[in-house]
Structure 1
């Protein structure tokens, strides 16, 4: 029996065994990587950390129990607005470099809205098109931007 006959008879079996070993090795490696990522996420998931939830909401963790994952986490999504979510609904910790909405953004938006409503109440602005007509740039030329 020469080498060609050996591979003709047992080559497919050897190939299948090698494929099974590779699949086992790669899945084990992937599981270890996921475990390390979950441990890193658990270390970073502390009250005060900004998070992204699976529903696409950004918020700040108020309460989180890493030991009991069945206990809901409390996340503040706006100043004074807290929601309870399943602890596994926290998709990831948001890096400080990412652009997120802050409390100052909410205050600024409320002030802008209040100024506009005050203009409407005083009769200065009767419609959005009137607001656009009154808007002027630094040179006094009309612009198409509404006045804030």
Structure 2
């Protein structure tokens, strides 16, 4: 019985060591990728949730602060590890179908927005109809 427990303990220990090394390699690869992509002009997300554009960054000297422009003319210096990730622009897929002028119908008498009271009344009417 003790041999089975020691065997199970050994298997768990080997699994933990293997998993830790795998995670360390993955983190190192992510850091290297981030360092190569962090160049002036790229948009980044900082640890505090602030978006900005890299003005200057030294991937070799991580103690040197990175300059990030957070608004036009507003440049802040942050620790290089405060850069959480590079913001990739989303691919915008344009819909090929265009609406003709006749396809868009707008009723002139339709209300633009409902008040909360009108919304409640409409929802109550819909619930009573069901």
Same fold (TM over 0.5): yes
State the distance in 2 between where 1:9 and 1:80 align: 69
In the other structure, the counterpart of 2:40 is 47
State the distance in 1 between where 2:88 and 2:59 align: 20
Q: Deviations over 1:71-117 (max 9, x none)?
A: 11000011111001111000000001189xxxxxxxxxxxxxxxxxx
In the other structure, the counterpart of 2:6 is 13
Q: Whose helix fraction is larger, Structure 1's or Structure 2's?
A: 1
Counterpart check, 1:79 vs 2:72: yes
Counterpart check, 1:90 vs 2:83: yes
Calculate the aligned-residue CA RMSD, in Å. 2.5
Aligned to 1:27, which of 20, 25, 43? 20
How many correspondences in the alignment? 100
Consecutive aligned runs of 4 or more in structure 1 exceeding 4 Å deviation = 141-144
- Structure 2 gap segments, 5+ residues each: 93-107, 114-130
Normalization by structure 2: what TM-score?
Answer: 0.69
